[in-house]
Amino acid sequence: MKKLLQQTPGSFHVVLLDYDMPGTNGLEILRWMQQHQITTPVVMLTGAGTEEVAVEAMKLGAYDYVRKEQLDLSHLDVLVRATHERHLFRIAKELDEERLRETGLTMETTERMREVVSAIAQTLNSAFSTLSTEIKNGENHAEARLTGAQRDAALELFRDLHRHVGLLESGLGGVLKLYNLMYAHHAGKNEIQQIKQDFFEKVATLKTQGDERT
**In the 8-state DSSP scheme, what is residue 70?**
G
Torsion angle, alpha carbons of 113, 119, 121, 126, to 10? 180
Global confidence as pTM: 0.45
Q: Determine which helix (DSSP H) or strand (DSSP E) holds 20, and give its type and residue range.
A: strand 20-21
The whole-number average pLDDT for the span 168-177 is 82
In 24-123, DSSP assigns E strands to 24-25, 42-46, 64-67
Q: How many CB atoms lie within 10 A of CB 155?
A: 17
% the chain with pLDDT above 70? 85
Examine the pLDDT at 116 and tell me if it is beyond 70: yes
Range in 13-27, 60-74, 184-198 with the lowest mean pLDDT: 184-198
Pairing of strands 24-25, 20-21: antiparallel
The predicted pLDDT at position 154 comes to 92
- Over its C-alpha atoms, the chain yields an Rg (Å, rounded) of 36
- Tens-digit pLDDT profile for residues 20-60: 888 888 899 899 988 888 888 998 888 766 778 888 888 88
Examine the pLDDT at 179 and tell me if it is beyond 60: yes
The predicted pLDDT at position 105 comes to 66
The predicted pLDDT at position 191 comes to 66
Torsion angle, alpha carbons of 82, 64, 79, 9, to 10? 70
132 within 8 A of 162, measured Cβ to Cβ: yes
Q: Is the dihedral of CA 76, 78, 84, 90 positive or negative?
A: negative
The whole-number average pLDDT for the span 177-181 is 74
The overall average pLDDT reported for the chain is 80
Look at the chain and count its residues. Answer: 214
- Compute the distance between CA of residue 57 and CA of residue 193 in angstroms, rounded to an integer: 62
